[in-house]
Structure 1
Amino acid sequence: MNLSGNLGPSPRSLEVEDLESFDRMLAAGAVHLQGWHAQSLDLRGRASALAGLDVEGAIFLGCTFDEGMEDALRNRGALIFPRLTGVPFNPYRSTLYSPGELYDGLADAPYEELPDARIYQWSIQPGQRHRVDATLASALHDHAIGDALDELTHSHPWSGQPMVGVMGGHAAQRGSADYAQAAMLGRLLARNGYSVATGGGPGAMEAANVGAYLSQADDDGLQAALDMLAAVPGFRPSVSAWARAAAAVVERFPGGTPSLGIPTWFYGHEPPNCFATHIAKYFANAIREAILLELCQGGIVFLPGAAGTVQEIFQDACENYYGAPEKVTPMVLVGRHHWEHQYPAWPMLRSLAADRPMADRIFLVDSVEEAVTVLLR
């Protein structure tokens, strides 16, 4: 899957994501801009430079120009995607989100006034999903996030580490045994050379990102962080208090190990966690789920969960069922009683896998330590 959402091969292009790069390439003698994709650049004051360039085939996404320059560039063959007004996000962004960006202002304002919440409120306004400008903005945004995610996963150190997904319910409360086990899983995965990816939300997802983030801390440090978080067990009734407890841990333990969160505004009631250092947040949940599965070529560990986790198990099973033998990835379900009796996904999964290449790539274990051992085989 192409993470940026392209349906087929595209010509070679050059993404220009900051003014420094733009100016440097012009200073080096660039004249022909065909294939250039300039994203969210403020190009005011550069009218004379732009006037001397061959811009046919160039694409400018959400850039700002001196008066009259936009029409001039369009008349000379450039494709201009305009800045969109009334939108509380940049649909042409060139990077993933950070927790600090989505929770900007958390120290002084309630969650409902922060960027993450404002974007969600925008997305659910009456009639929003049927408005052309709104659907265009969200589609452009998700394409930009996919593009940024593709760049991240092909850069150091991500490209040199297999990525393992951790799936599990959002209901696991801070301070609970389930939360501590999910944190231990993230810690063990990161310590064994895996990149950790989750759905980026609360519960088991947050815990796995916590464990990865603090993978280089000693045991006392991890326990201290878990104790701090336990003071606010869940994001209800106050997302603000929940997020501030996490921010306090990050402040006490800065510079943790990077990990990935891929949440969605489709589930607006689930806020993103603060321990995924890189956040690829999408509007379209179906795209987000498919990309999360595609990225986890090191396998996926499924912790106890309910409907959402069951859905993810069989989405992954479908990929493995029809995939080429070389592309089958491990599926590890943790919790025998949970997956055999409470939500009996394991018997169905085992039946599906029978006589298929995936048969020896599915596992049912009782502990996160066993799960990591299975992946390391």
Structure 2
Amino acid sequence: MGNHHISAKNFDDLPDPARRRGSVTLRRKQAEIRQADQFLFEAPRDSSFVHSDPWRVLRIQSEFVEGFGTLAELGPTISVFGSARTHRGSVEYAQAEAIGRLLVDAGYAVMTGGGPGTMEAANKGAVEAGGTSVGLGIELPFETGLNEWVDLGINFRYFFARKTMFMKYSQGFIVLPGGFGTLDELFEALTLVQTEKVTHFPIVLFGSAFWGPLVDWMRQTLVERGTVSGSDLDLFHLTDDPDDAVAFATTYRPDAAE
């Protein structure tokens, strides 16, 4: 996912800045309305029914219905995560493109957070390889919307609804360097695999220079202190090779197991 974020200065420079709130487009003063997740987690300022929790539950339900209905027949899919701030023309952008192409060549759809940077690159690689390119967007401040390489896109209001779609409709994750959003998705996936909420779910960390220090910290701090088991570090695969990343991520295919 990464964060679909650009600076406030750059946002003001855009000719027609817009924000997405689910299926709704907001511009100018309307774009200043608080995010749906803020309304959900903060104390209510408005007692009207449309800002009440029962109404919000219906809105949350509609996101799950929309997501399930749209993605149910997607087929084998791998999600690619990474920074929205990865620049076009960078090595990291080219690697994400290559991963997107290789996944399509292996018979998989490519799903990302739908934003710029790494996400755009993976979607671009999928499209250029003739495959299915999926983007799951989210309402964020100064977001840029779904990138132009997304062929099948859904915009969400709520992070948890969106993350459910990633876990439900992916058969594995490839995680490139990224920020808090990328780390959030990585550790949620690791937790769900560790606790056996999902099984047969390969997780790839791509980029040893970036992820290596984190893996070392896990080994030297978490394992040493006994907060995780040494075997928990086998829940992911670290690599610098796009071919190896795709080969590992596609080790389990549900339609082949039936």
Which residue pairs with 2:86 in the alignment? 172
Which residue pairs with 2:111 in the alignment? 197
Which residue pairs with 1:133 in the alignment? 50
Which residue pairs with 1:333 in the alignment? 205
What is the deviation of 1:177? 1.7
**One-letter code of the match for 1:124?**
R
Which residue pairs with 1:370 in the alignment? 244
Alignment of 1:201-350 (within 5 A): 201-216=115-130, 257-296=131-170, 298-323=171-196, 327-341=199-213, 344-345=214-215, 347-348=217-218
Change (3 A) 1:331 1:353: farther
Would you say the 8 A contact 1:138–1:283 is kept in 2? no
What is the deviation of 1:124? 2.1
Change (3 A) 1:137 1:110: farther
Distance in 2, matches of 1:113 and 1:362, equals 35
Distance in 2, matches of 1:166 and 1:353, equals 26
Deviates more, 1:135-144 or 1:305-314: 135-144
Distance in 1, matches of 2:113 and 2:216, equals 22
Q: Deviations over 1:200-230 (max 9, x none)?
A: 11110111111111113xxxxxxxxxxxxxx
TM score, norm. by length of structure 2: 0.72
Would you say the 8 A contact 1:310–1:345 is kept in 2? no
Distance in 1, matches of 2:188 and 2:216, equals 14
Change (3 A) 1:170 1:291: same
What is the deviation of 1:330? 0.6
Deviates more, 1:132-141 or 1:263-272: 132-141
Gaps of 5+ in 1: 1-108, 217-256
Distance in 2, matches of 1:353 and 1:366, equals 25
Which residue pairs with 1:237 in the alignment? none
Change (3 A) 1:334 1:121: same
Which residue pairs with 2:71 in the alignment? 153
Q: RMSD across aligned C-alpha pairs, in angstroms?
A: 3.0
What is the deviation of 1:139? 5.2
Q: SS at 1:260's partner residue?
A: strand
Would you say the 8 A contact 1:299–1:331 is kept in 2? yes
Q: SS at 1:280's partner residue?
A: strand
How many equivalent pairs are there? 217
Q: SS at 2:79's partner residue?
A: strand
**One-letter code of the match for 2:119?**
M
> Are 1:110 and 2:20 counterparts?
no
Which residue pairs with 1:354 in the alignment? 230
Which residue pairs with 1:124 in the alignment? 34
Which residue pairs with 1:230 in the alignment? none
Deviates more, 1:265-274 or 1:313-322: 265-274
Change (3 A) 1:283 1:346: farther
Distance in 2, matches of 1:307 and 1:362, equals 18
What is the deviation of 1:276? 1.6
Distance in 2, matches of 1:283 and 1:266, equals 9
**One-letter code of the match for 1:147?**
V
Distance in 2, matches of 1:213 and 1:271, equals 18
Which residue pairs with 2:11 in the alignment? none
TM score, norm. by length of structure 1: 0.51
Q: Deviations over 1:162-206 (max 9, x none)?
A: 221111011101122211111111111112111211111111011
**One-letter code of the match for 1:302?**
V
Change (3 A) 1:286 1:154: closer
Q: Deviations over 1:17-43 (max 9, x none)?
A: xxxxxxxxxxxxxxxxxxxxxxxxxxx
